[in-house]
Chain A
């Protein structure tokens, strides 16, 4: 209701209460980057411990904590929020929306994620981090002494709720908030893949919620779900975890597939080859992603029938994935490909990910998997997919959208140095791991004995990890340099194709002064080719409705954080107090009306969202 939208705000209060998707996107990106550095540091420590056979650097107990936290941090606290960061920063711009469907829920999702992430990492300072692997298999996790696993269970539970509501927000945003003319089959591939990812989040995360809840009950309330001596069965946890866990892989990788589709098309100056095949392949991968979880459990003893069915289902996923690879290649075919850092990562991704896909098909063969399973071969495979796919994609997206998000240009020389060091380090680390696994090295071992021919490949892998570390430091240096004296970016530095490049960098608070009319796929490219300087508006200039900022998401998340921390130490009164704080936040939100406010058309800058 406040008339003056531009009144000065305290910056800290502003960031704590913001419901602007672009700012929430930046919050996600910053915290995701922080956890990425933390998870990377953990990885470096792991590789130092494995430099030499029987080397003593951090020791067995700490090693298990490091490997658990490395996996958990990278998946849940780095990759997920970075993807959510890009989704927040870019999707409303790509579909021509002023906002997301639920700005309040969006902010709540971020604060729940960060509350969970911090809680998860508190273990390091409060008697030991979780040490049962990122999978947290019972009964190792239910019987693990100390509080480490409690931090894992409650931290992930809280951040998982944040992820779930974030997913719902994007589903509704993409369905209901598209600009006129932005039909489903005109949506950019990043929006499409994020849409499908949000659907996967919605149907996958509740299984994790239950798995974690049962672990928590067994640990805190003495239930017997996974205690064989009272009739429990730990295999149930494995099922629940992987019913979530396999879709999670696609949750991570589909959005970056979308990013690659846009980056490759932009820098080839060509329309994406086989757009509808790409959309269909993405949807198919998402669907099949729910049918294959047992391939993580081939050695559990479910019998040859189950193993065969899930093996064939798993092989099927290779088909739509292959379709994507060929469509990317043929997008570049006949194009005019340039290689700034963003496209270097996209182009470097293709052979790296193909290798990961190859080993993926190899792993789908159950008898062979009996050898690969839980060996370094699997470690090699999923790092080829997650680093070669997801991390390369996040880096590509980072260099590509940085100007749109922050309004400056990153240094290209440092960027290219970052790419080459990272690319070489990546292959040097993970390629030898295939052989380590086949030569009999199980994963998650804190050391290996000398005289088993495992020394050289381990040494090479560690050197590669250090290279990736140096590459990451260069990226951080690039960010600092750019933040201090970065060159201003224009609206459209890459000759982009999609709608976000039609507006100023960074986008104004209201994104579009007038909602644009979408006249085809690659809407902005079409207008540029038609000689237009901006998008054609779909509505007259009018007052713009904006949502109210709110501190409640922060307070509600704080309540769950307090409840989780207190529950770990069985301080039930405080735990209930924390829950009450959260519920009170919900009640206030429900009882007080939030009608938002308007930015008056007279207050809009002259050119509005038309860009230049």
Chain B
């Protein structure tokens, strides 16, 4: 039965139903709102990035190798989620789940690095949310991104757990597809964070 249904799925199962189309479009709009959200945070950060209140500066604080590894982890996870989406579009359920598992694991590793990084800053440098306006802006911007990563990992874990046994149909395909969209968005935001926060903090 399942196998039969799977073979009957159309080419782009995520947009085959009106429900799927609505979700697809609605989620793009949601990401538009998220863009404004992060743009506002970036604006705040740019306004306060030199407000160190006499404390440690970004140039002294950041260690690019660590951030580079984190960036690579997240970029790779974006690539694996593309593989997952390709599997989704060609109705290869097991392969899709596999790539999403890899994506989530890479996300977890990224998150681990970020927690290490924050911990390091707080305990080695006394750089906290309260120590300066720059500290407030830094932890809020990077932390909001981290919270998005966390939410993404919980989301995909739940989706995999729920749908492992029942496979793919027109009802579940949009759900997986939206997660992939979300994950790309998070990745793009991180590229901006890497540039605006870390590179400009080191160079500018």
Decide if A and B touch, CB cutoff 8 A.
yes
Contact status A231-B40, CB under 8 Å? no
Contacts A203-B32, A206-B40, A207-B36; A231 near B134 (Cβ below 8 A): yes
Kindly specify which of A170-178, A505-513, A569-577 makes contact with the partner chain.
A170-178
Q: How far is the CB of B52 from chain A (nearest CB, A)?
A: 7
Contact status A591-B33, CB under 8 Å? no
Contacts A210-B37, A223-B136, A224-B53; A231 near B25 (Cβ below 8 A): no
Q: Kindly supply a per-residue 1/0 record for chain A positions 187-213, scoring 1 wherever the CB is within 8 Å of any chain B CB and 0 otherwise.
A: 000000000000000111111011101
Q: Is B68 an interface residue (CB 8 A)?
A: no
Q: Is B112 an interface residue (CB 8 A)?
A: no
Which residue, of A105, A169, A176, A224, has the highest number of chain B Cβ atoms within 10 A? Answer: A224
For A225, list chain B residues within 8 Å (CB): 44, 48, 133, 136-137
Q: Name the one of B26, B41, B132, B175 contacting A210, with C-beta atoms under 8 angstroms.
A: B41
Q: How far is the CB of B130 from chain A (nearest CB, A)?
A: 5
Contact status A206-B36, CB under 8 Å? yes
**Bound form: Cα–Cα A230–B54 in Å:** 9
Q: Is B158 an interface residue (CB 8 A)?
A: yes
Q: Is A477 an interface residue (CB 8 A)?
A: no
Closest A residue, CB atoms, query B139: A223
Contact status A202-B43, CB under 8 Å? no
Q: Kindly supply a per-residue 1/0 record for chain A positions 205-234, scoring 1 wherever the CB is within 8 Å of any chain B CB and 0 otherwise.
A: 111011101100110011111010011110
Contact status B158-A590, CB under 8 Å? yes
Q: Is B107 an interface residue (CB 8 A)?
A: no
Q: Name the one of A177, A206, A214, A232 contacting B140, with C-beta atoms under 8 angstroms.
A: A214
Q: Is B47 an interface residue (CB 8 A)?
A: yes
Q: Is B3 an interface residue (CB 8 A)?
A: no
Contacts A240-B44, A591-B158; A202 near B130 (Cβ below 8 A): no
**Bound form: Cα–Cα A286–B37 in Å:** 19
Contacts A168-B33, A210-B40, A236-B44; A101 near B26 (Cβ below 8 A): yes
For B32, list chain A residues within 8 Å (CB): 202-203
Q: Kindly supply a per-residue 1/0 record for chain B positions 141-171, scoring 1 wherever the CB is within 8 Å of any chain A CB and 0 otherwise.
A: 0000000000000000011001000000001
Which residue, of B22, B40, B50, B175, has the highest number of chain A Cβ atoms within 10 A? Answer: B40
**Bound form: Cα–Cα A223–B136 in Å:** 5
**Bound form: Cα–Cα A463–B29 in Å:** 47
**Bound form: Cα–Cα A217–B44 in Å:** 14
Count of interface residues, chain B, beta-carbon cutoff 8 Å:
37
Contacts A231-B51, A231-B52, A236-B48; A102 near B137 (Cβ below 8 A): no
**Bound form: Cα–Cα A175–B130 in Å:** 45
For B47, list chain A residues within 8 Å (CB): 233, 236
Q: Is A239 an interface residue (CB 8 A)?
A: yes
Contact status A230-B37, CB under 8 Å? no
Contact status A230-B29, CB under 8 Å? no
**Bound form: Cα–Cα A107–B196 in Å:** 39
Contact status B18-A176, CB under 8 Å? yes
Q: Is B135 an interface residue (CB 8 A)?
A: yes
**Bound form: Cα–Cα A591–B158 in Å:** 8
Q: Kindly supply a per-residue 1/0 record for chain B positions 28-72, scoring 1 wherever the CB is within 8 Å of any chain A CB and 0 otherwise.
A: 011011101100110110011011110000000000000000000
Closest B residue, CB atoms, query A228: B133
Q: How far is the CB of A178 from chain B (nearest CB, A)?
A: 12
Q: How far is the CB of A543 from chain B (nearest CB, A)?
A: 15
Q: How far is the CB of B166 from chain A (nearest CB, A)?
A: 10
Count of interface residues, chain A, beta-carbon cutoff 8 Å:
43
**Bound form: Cα–Cα A175–B53 in Å:** 49
Contact status B140-A217, CB under 8 Å? yes
Q: How far is the CB of B3 from chain A (nearest CB, A)?
A: 20
Q: How far is the CB of B136 from chain A (nearest CB, A)?
A: 4
Contact status B52-A591, CB under 8 Å? no
Q: Is B129 an interface residue (CB 8 A)?
A: yes
Q: Kindly supply a per-residue 1/0 record for chain A positions 222-262, scoring 1 wherever the CB is within 8 Å of any chain B CB and 0 otherwise.
A: 11110100111100100110010000000000000000000
Contact status A231-B158, CB under 8 Å? no
For A205, list chain B residues within 8 Å (CB): 33
Contact status A168-B22, CB under 8 Å? no
**Bound form: Cα–Cα A313–B43 in Å:** 21
Q: Is A593 an interface residue (CB 8 A)?
A: yes
Contact status A232-B136, CB under 8 Å? yes
Q: How far is the CB of B1 from chain A (nearest CB, A)?
A: 16
**Bound form: Cα–Cα A225–B178 in Å:** 34
Contact status A223-B34, CB under 8 Å? no
Q: How far is the CB of A442 from chain B (nearest CB, A)?
A: 28
For A202, list chain B residues within 8 Å (CB): 29, 32-33, 36
**Bound form: Cα–Cα A590–B129 in Å:** 34
Contact status B136-A224, CB under 8 Å? yes
Contacts A225-B44, A231-B132; A102 near B22 (Cβ below 8 A): yes
Q: How far is the CB of B193 from chain A (nearest CB, A)?
A: 15
Q: Is A587 an interface residue (CB 8 A)?
A: yes
**Bound form: Cα–Cα A176–B28 in Å:** 14
Closest A residue, CB atoms, query B30: A168
Q: Is A387 an interface residue (CB 8 A)?
A: no
Q: Name the one of A102, A171, A227, A595 contacting B133, with C-beta atoms under 8 angstroms.
A: A227
For B140, list chain A residues within 8 Å (CB): 213-214, 217, 223
Q: Kindly supply a per-residue 1/0 record for chain A positions 71-114, scoring 1 wherever the CB is within 8 Å of any chain B CB and 0 otherwise.
A: 00000000000000000000000000000011001000000000
Q: Is B21 an interface residue (CB 8 A)?
A: yes
Contact status B37-A206, CB under 8 Å? yes
Contact status B133-A230, CB under 8 Å? yes
Contact status B33-A203, CB under 8 Å? yes
Closest A residue, CB atoms, query B161: A591
Q: How far is the CB of A181 from chain B (nearest CB, A)?
A: 17
Contacts A206-B40, A223-B140, A224-B53; A232 near B129 (Cβ below 8 A): no
Contact status A210-B44, CB under 8 Å? yes
For B30, list chain A residues within 8 Å (CB): 168
Contact status A223-B130, CB under 8 Å? yes
Q: How far is the CB of A582 from chain B (nearest CB, A)?
A: 12
Q: How far is the CB of B107 from chain A (nearest CB, A)?
A: 18
Q: Name the one of A168, A209, A214 contacting B37, with C-beta atoms under 8 angstroms.
A: A209
Contacts A217-B129, A222-B129, A587-B158; A175 near B25 (Cβ below 8 A): yes
Q: How far is the CB of A157 from chain B (nearest CB, A)?
A: 12
Closest B residue, CB atoms, query A204: B36
5 pairs of A and B residues whose beta carbons are closest in the complex: A231-B51, A223-B136, A206-B37, A232-B133, A231-B133
- Of the A-B pairs whose beta carbons lie under 8 Å apart in the complex, a sample of 12, sorted by A's number, is A168-B33, A171-B26, A171-B29, A172-B25, A176-B25, A203-B32, A211-B40, A217-B136, A223-B136, A225-B133, A587-B158, A590-B158
Question: Which residues of B come within 8 Å of A, CB atoms?
Answer: 18, 21-22, 25-26, 29-30, 32-34, 36-37, 40-41, 43-44, 47-48, 50-53, 129-137, 140, 158-159, 162, 171, 175
Other than the given A221-B130, A224-B135, A590-B162, 11 more pairs (CB < 8 A) read A168-B26, A169-B26, A172-B25, A172-B26, A172-B29, A202-B36, A206-B34, A217-B129, A221-B129, A225-B48, A591-B158
